[in-house]
Amino acid sequence: MKTAVAITGIGLISPLGNQVEAVFSRLMAGESGIRLLDAEVTGCKPAVVGAAEFDPAPWFTRLQLSGVDRVSQMAVAAATLALEDAALTLPAEREQVGVYVGCAMGGSSALDKGFHNFYAEKSRVSPLSVIASMANAPAGHISMRFGITGPSVNYSVACASSAIALGEAMRAIRHGEITHAIAGGAEAMLLPGIINAWQSMQVLASTAGEHPEQACRPYDKERSGLVLAEGAAFLILEGLDAALARGARIYATLDGYACRSDATHITKPDVGGQVRTMRAALADAGLSAGQIGYCNSHGTATQVGDVVECQALQSIWGEDTPGLQVSATKSMHGHLLGATGGLETAITALVLYHQQVPPTANCRQLDENCRVQHVLGKGVAAPDLQAAISNSFAFGGSNASLVLQRHQA
């Protein structure tokens, strides 16, 4: 018999703040954490980004910080907050605990500084650049911080990274390999070189004139592209029975997961691949499409991606099906690349816990090719909501979907 898996803790370092309930309140109000970086910061054209307000001082000593990139700093902070939120004392046998992290870019700041020292200043590159920039550094630092000797793994699968990390952590608990997991993702890549590379792809949102906070407009007819963001989001996963036994608050249960490949194009999404992924996740959860009442969509605000995802949703749920409410919260927090799945799964768990659905912000004129039941403007109550799905679709054609259910206390 498979072990049911509960989400009992959430920790966030995000463009919308670091306190879970305050972040959810801002989302429900349709508030944005996106702001403008001028040309002096980007080194090229101005750009809108979702930057996290984060001070590492409470989490690391000055000596420790010398070899810890921003991405690992935020990961440790968010993981610690998640454990505190879960009111969880880790088991004495730490081999029964796993750390599952999604991080696509790794320690970008350390790598950027190393290149600058070598090419621009012709100076010595710090040997700490290697360990600070490796993609699995956040997982290693979390494991060391809490003495965790179970699995410590990183998934680098572009925008699906932390959704896959959560799914694999769920599987490990479900099949008895571990009893607890700290799972999620982190990303910190708001640097001139990276921003300029994305600008060159012509997929970033315009600066939106006097209202940069409105730049990300998923499903809007006039949408101009995605908004890069940074942050970390971690969830505490544990067996449902064990969580109930210790009287834990249960945000939701994580019941379904699937990862499938488009195998068609390195950047262009595919309807068939997304449909296969969602159907497989539903089957893993043992639920039908009609039982899902909310979708936290991938919804990046690109011209092609938004249409493809809506077509995939229509293929499963049918166009204008009233039973499925859809929103793209990236409109307010931006796209955290490898950390996005973690943040959006946390949001989906909060949606089920509060039975309230946040909106897609900034969508003023819905694209006629994106006809599903969007929640626009402000959030809405959803008193009958019992199950939800969160989608993460990545460059490379890797897709991941997670299915969550409301816990009936």
Domain boundary among 179, 214, 245: 245
Q: Which percentage of the chain shows pLDDT scores above 90?
A: 85
Per-residue pLDDT at 111: 80
Rounded Cα distance, 110 and 131, in Å: 9
Write out the residue range of the structural domain in which residue 345 sits. 255-405
Strand partners, 182: 99, 236
276 with 340, same domain: the answer is: yes
Per-residue pLDDT at 146: 98
Per-residue pLDDT at 110: 79
221-269 per-position pLDDT tens digit: 999 999 999 999 999 999 999 999 999 999 999 999 999 999 999 999 9
Q: Is residue 193 part of a domain?
A: yes
214 with 301, same domain: the answer is: no
Rounded Cα distance, 366 and 172, in Å: 41
Rounded Cα distance, 361 and 377, in Å: 5
How many C-beta atoms surround the C-beta of residue 157 within 10 A? 23
178 with 313, same domain: the answer is: no
With a cut of 70, say whether residue 19 has pLDDT above it.
yes
Domain boundary among 214, 245, 276: 245
Q: Scan for tokens 């309230």, then name that residue.
A: 356
Extended beta strands in 82-151, E state: 97-102
Assess contact for 94 and 149: CB atoms under 8 A: yes
Q: Is residue 17 part of a domain?
A: yes
Kind and range of the H or E run holding 10:
strand 5-13
Q: Is residue 365 part of a domain?
A: yes
Q: Is residue 362 part of a domain?
A: yes
Assess contact for 337 and 185: CB atoms under 8 A: no
355 with 239, same domain: the answer is: no
Rounded Cα distance, 188 and 105, in Å: 8
Q: Is residue 73 part of a domain?
A: yes
Kind and range of the H or E run holding 139:
helix 137-146
152 with 262, same domain: the answer is: no
Q: Which alpha helices (H) appear in 246-339, and where do they start and end?
A: 271-285, 303-317, 330-333
Name which of 160, 55, 166, 152 is nearest 104 in CA terms.
160
With a cut of 60, say whether residue 396 has pLDDT above it.
yes
Rounded Cα distance, 409 and 397, in Å: 38
317-371 per-position pLDDT tens digit: 986 567 899 999 999 999 999 999 999 999 999 999 999 999 999 999 999 999 8
Assess contact for 269 and 305: CB atoms under 8 A: yes
Q: Residue 271 has which token pair?
A: 């309807």
Question: CATH number, domain at 329?
Answer: 3.40.47.10
Per-residue pLDDT at 42: 67
Per-residue pLDDT at 300: 97
Q: Which residues in 88-124 are b (16+ Cβ under 10 Å) and which e?
A: bebeeeeebbbbbbbbbbbbbbbbbbbeeeeeeeeee
Per-residue pLDDT at 119: 80
241 with 321, same domain: the answer is: no
Q: Residue 268 has which token pair?
A: 């262009």
More confidently predicted of 114 and 324:
324
Residue-level length of the chain: 409
With a cut of 70, say whether residue 40 has pLDDT above it.
no
User: Please, what is the angle between helix 271-285 and helix 303-317, to 10°?
Assistant: 50
Rounded Cα distance, 86 and 251, in Å: 10
266 with 179, same domain: the answer is: no
Assess contact for 341 and 163: CB atoms under 8 A: yes
Per-residue pLDDT at 350: 98
Q: In the structure, what pLDDT confidence band is assigned to residue 1 with cuts at 50, 70 and 90?
A: low
With a cut of 70, say whether residue 401 has pLDDT above it.
yes
226 with 294, same domain: the answer is: no
229 with 266, same domain: the answer is: no
Q: Scan for tokens 């997304």, then name that residue.
A: 274
Q: Is residue 168 part of a domain?
A: yes
161-190 per-position pLDDT tens digit: 999 999 999 999 999 999 999 999 999 999
Sheet holding 35-37, edge to edge: 35-37, 47-50, 228-229
Q: Which percentage of the chain shows pLDDT scores above 70?
A: 98
Report the pLDDT averaged over residues 144-155.
Answer: 98
Per-residue pLDDT at 21: 98
Name which of 60, 59, 154 is nearest 99 in CA terms.
154
Q: Is residue 250 part of a domain?
A: no
Q: Which residues are catalytic?
A: 159, 298, 335
Q: Residue 369 has which token pair?
A: 């090719």
270 with 135, same domain: the answer is: no
Q: Number of folded domains in the chain?
A: 2
* Residues with Cβ within 8 Å of residue 99, at least 6 apart in sequence: 79, 139, 142, 143, 148, 150, 151, 152, 153, 181, 182, 183
78-105 per-position pLDDT tens digit: 999 999 999 999 999 999 999 999 999 9
238 with 346, same domain: the answer is: no
Domain boundary among 188, 212, 245: 245
Mean pLDDT for the chain overall: 95
Report the pLDDT averaged over residues 291-304.
Answer: 97
pTM: predicted TM-score of the whole model, two decimal places: 0.96
* Residues with Cβ within 8 Å of residue 364, at least 6 apart in sequence: 217, 220, 222
More confidently predicted of 135 and 112:
135
Q: Scan for tokens 């690391």, then name that residue.
A: 60
Report the pLDDT averaged over residues 198-213.
Answer: 89
Q: Is residue 116 part of a domain?
A: yes
How many C-beta atoms surround the C-beta of residue 348 within 10 A? 27
35 with 174, same domain: the answer is: yes
Per-residue pLDDT at 323: 86
With a cut of 90, say whether residue 114 has pLDDT above it.
no
